Structure 1
Amino acid sequence: MDSVNLPKASRRSFLKKGAAAGSFVAASTLAAPAVLGQAPIVMKMQTSWPASDIWMDFARQYVERVEAMSGGRLKVDLLPAGAVVGAFQVLDACNDGVLDAAHSVPVYWYGKSKAASLFGTGPVFGGSATTMLAWFNAGGGAEFYRELTQDILGLNVVGFLGFPMFAQPFGWFKKEVNTVADIQGFKYRTVGLAADLMQAMGMSVAQLPGGEIVPAMERGVIDAFEFNNPSSDSRFGAQDVAKNYYLSSYHQASESFEFLFNKDFFNDLPPDLQAILRHSVEAASTANTASAMDNYSADLLKLEKDSGVSVRRTSSEILDAQIKAWDKLIGELEADAFMKKVLDSQRAWVERVTYYELMNSPDYALAYNHYFPGKLKL
């Protein structure tokens, strides 16, 4: 991905002028608190999602929290993919100051560095997305992310991760796929290191943003695909171009949203507004999870009942082949010193944390089958 060829637009002078104007108003209006004399700071934030995608709703949950906690001092102009730049170009736009902020995923700038994929769509050592978001926040991942974006790539951005996504389905197919032989030669849509993984398993891969998937399927550019979840998939019409939906996969099992900011814009904000932008990620993460549980589960049932979609779990043969393909790919990735450092950190975290998680977790399927017998398709 090349840099966005748009003029750079620093907010630094604007914010300083706004602060100066606020001081003048405060000095000349003795009866009113200074904050009332200041115009709100407007943050231009674009997502990587079509306007109709449920992830735009998730981005709005973030915006609502930022605006409420800032008491009106910070307003967010939230825009869908394509409003200013393409879905895969938001990082460049934040770096250049064309955007103040973005709501995306690190894998969308995989073209700059394959290491981007380690912050959401990398190898699955056994940890869930919640496990790996905890690694980002408490296990050293945030510093690795800063090192990659600012030191290695020299980008003028600040970023945080939030909302641990549920493991992404293997995806949509026109016919049943139960063995590795069944998927040979498929033209398949995915992104990031998952593309390397699927190519190693015998598929050819096209990396496309969500809004381009169904048109590509209709034109025959691809003949199978994954995006993320039942709500997003059904909103862009996946059920109209394929009827076999396979849940569970190791290709993207631990992803989170990326909340990106132009570094100059972020650093020029008062400390309390910086804290609001940072900690609203955590607040929205909880809200997003609740909304995802509600919508994803309801939309999965609608796909089955209303659209005639056959919902299955991916076969053990294909899952086992994915793990073995990851093994080979990990060896190649570790030739890069930075990626080896990150992978070593993730392995150590998963070994310790997931040991506790698995040892402590009861068998939820056992209880579910007791109360809802015959429903699980295992």
Structure 2
Amino acid sequence: MTHTLNRRNFLSKGVLAGVATAAGSTLAAPAIAGELPALRWRLTSGFPNNLDTIYGGAVVMAETLSKITEGKFQIQVFQAGEIVPGPQALDAVNANTVEIAHTCGYYFTGKDPTFAIGSTIPFGMNARQQNAWLYHGGGNEAYNAFLADYGVVGIPGGATGAQMGGWFRNEIKSLADLKGVKMRIAGIAGQVMAKLGVVPQQLPGGDIYPALERGTIDAAEWIGPYDDERLGFYQIAPNYYYPAYWEGGLTVHFFVNKAQYEALPEAYKVALDTACKAANLNMQAMYDVKNTTAIRTLVGKGVKLRPMPRDILDAAYQATFELYGEFEDKHPAWAKIYPQWKKFRDESFQWFRVAEYSYDSYNYAAQAAGK
């Protein structure tokens, strides 16, 4: 042990000191850090700060980035509405009003439905499959090729897992019961629901409860038990359906001004990517813990958990893929990305049925049977 310590002392005090002397002070670690610029960016969130888990993803990213860069690259996080309303987040990044936003791509399907495919689309992949496609299946590269036309770069930075199918004032027993229902539902899912007779409304999270309270809407979907309980939907619409066929594995993105991103030193690009990955992993884990507790609390408050009727799921599945065919004809960007997304999805489903699904199915059935 003494020999080892002496050897280490020799290396640190002798050889390394000699190298530093010979090479000059520019190679010393503090000098290298000193060469990187001090940056201060502003981030606009698509969410109110009372939704600590999804809004908090941006805070986790910013704090991680600051620590990695020893405080040299800092991002100040603003909740939706402080700088611009949530629906204007992407435009604010494009205009360089802010350097970065944290929000869901599917909020911008009014510009092009392709915005949704990087986040989640109906009957898409689960959270793990989504990450696989984005990180290692060419998904995020394809998404960024599309986003380049809007002057932004997208980096995955949040995940919710499979979401719930929403809160309804009245019980929905079959497809016929959806006719005329005014429902807060975002993006492509709203277009699918419209084909089933629903009147979709796209509202920011903070506007949903007042709309339910006033009777402007009859139903609403948001995320899952933890956030939904905090927003109080159960007080007005007690029927809670599952699952959300439209959000099997949502990815929230950090959207960065393309010119600002490309001007970053390589070290900062790596630091930013690492911090975004930390936010992505952390958010999913937090939801998995908090939803587990919240669903029990909601049931204790009298919430009626109900499975989405099978005829609704079947009709929605058919309508969804008919809609995707329409998108391929009308939207060149969608036609470019969708085939590789669909191939990855289908092959991933084949694999997950072998091990993951069979493992989960047995365990859940055994636990439910009291074993």
TM band (smaller chain)? 0.7 to 0.9
More helix by proportion, 1 or 2? 2
RMSD: 2.3
Query: Which letter maps to 1:373?
Result: A
Q: Is the 8 A contact 1:149 1:155 kept in 2?
A: yes
Q: Map Cα deviations across residues 292-329 of structure 1 (whole Å, 9 max, x no partner).
A: 11111111111111x22112221222211211111221
Q: Is the aligned partner of 1:333 residue 2:327?
A: yes
> 1:187 offset after TM fit, Å?
0.3
Q: Secondary structure at the match of 1:205?
A: strand
> 1:330 offset after TM fit, Å?
1.8
Q: Is the 8 A contact 2:119 2:253 kept in 1?
A: no
Taking the aligned partners of 1:131 and 1:34, their CA distance within structure 2 comes to 39
Q: Is the aligned partner of 1:370 residue 2:369?
A: no
Taking the aligned partners of 1:241 and 1:63, their CA distance within structure 2 comes to 36
In structure 1, the partner of 2:225 is: 230
Taking the aligned partners of 2:33 and 2:273, their CA distance within structure 1 comes to 21
Q: Is the 8 A contact 2:182 2:201 kept in 1?
A: yes
Query: Which letter maps to 2:92?
Result: A
Larger mean Cα displacement after TM superposition, 197-206 or 55-64? 55-64
Map 1:163-242 to 2 at 5 A.
Answer: 163-242=158-237
| Of 247, 251, 256, the match for 2:242 | 247
Taking the aligned partners of 1:331 and 1:374, their CA distance within structure 2 comes to 45
Q: Is the aligned partner of 1:136 residue 2:164?
A: no
Q: Secondary structure at the match of 2:339?
A: helix
Q: Secondary structure at the match of 1:94?
A: helix
Query: Which letter maps to 1:310?
Result: K
In structure 2, the partner of 1:310 is: 304
In structure 1, the partner of 2:116 is: 117
The unaligned stretches of length 5 or more in structure 2 are 1-24
Q: Is the 8 A contact 1:251 1:322 kept in 2?
A: no
In structure 2, the partner of 1:17 is: none
Q: Secondary structure at the match of 2:157?
A: strand
Query: Which letter maps to 1:269?
Result: L
Structure exhibiting the larger radius of gyration computed from Cα positions: 2
Q: Pick closer, same or farther for the CA change 1:371–1:92 going to 2, 3 Å.
A: same
In structure 1, the partner of 2:48 is: 50
Query: Which letter maps to 1:108?
Result: Y
Q: Is the 8 A contact 1:229 1:296 kept in 2?
A: yes
Taking the aligned partners of 2:120 and 2:188, their CA distance within structure 1 comes to 7
Q: TM-score, normalised by structure 1?
A: 0.85
Q: Aligned residues: percent identity?
A: 28
> 1:160 offset after TM fit, Å?
1.2
Taking the aligned partners of 1:319 and 1:161, their CA distance within structure 2 comes to 28
Taking the aligned partners of 1:181 and 1:241, their CA distance within structure 2 comes to 22
Taking the aligned partners of 1:325 and 1:39, their CA distance within structure 2 comes to 51
Query: Which letter maps to 1:206?
Result: Q
> 1:36 offset after TM fit, Å?
5.8
Map 1:38-77 to 2 at 5 A.
Answer: 40-53=38-51, 54-77=53-76
Q: Is the 8 A contact 2:54 2:158 kept in 1?
A: no
In structure 1, the partner of 2:96 is: 97
Q: Map Cα deviations across residues 160-202 of structure 1 (whole Å, 9 max, x no partner).
A: 1233432221100012112101111100111111111000010
> 1:143 offset after TM fit, Å?
2.5
Q: Is the 8 A contact 1:45 1:79 kept in 2?
A: yes
Q: Is the aligned partner of 1:287 residue 2:282?
A: yes
Q: TM-score, normalised by structure 2?
A: 0.86
Q: Is the aligned partner of 1:263 residue 2:261?
A: no
> 1:351 offset after TM fit, Å?
2.0
The unaligned stretches of length 5 or more in structure 1 are 1-26
Taking the aligned partners of 2:293 and 2:145, their CA distance within structure 1 comes to 40
Query: Which letter maps to 2:305?
Result: V
Q: Pick closer, same or farther for the CA change 1:38–1:347 going to 2, 3 Å.
A: closer
Q: Secondary structure at the match of 1:334?
A: helix
In structure 2, the partner of 1:108 is: 107
> 1:34 offset after TM fit, Å?
6.8
Query: Which letter maps to 2:302?
Result: G
Q: Is the 8 A contact 1:230 1:300 kept in 2?
A: yes
In structure 1, the partner of 2:12 is: none
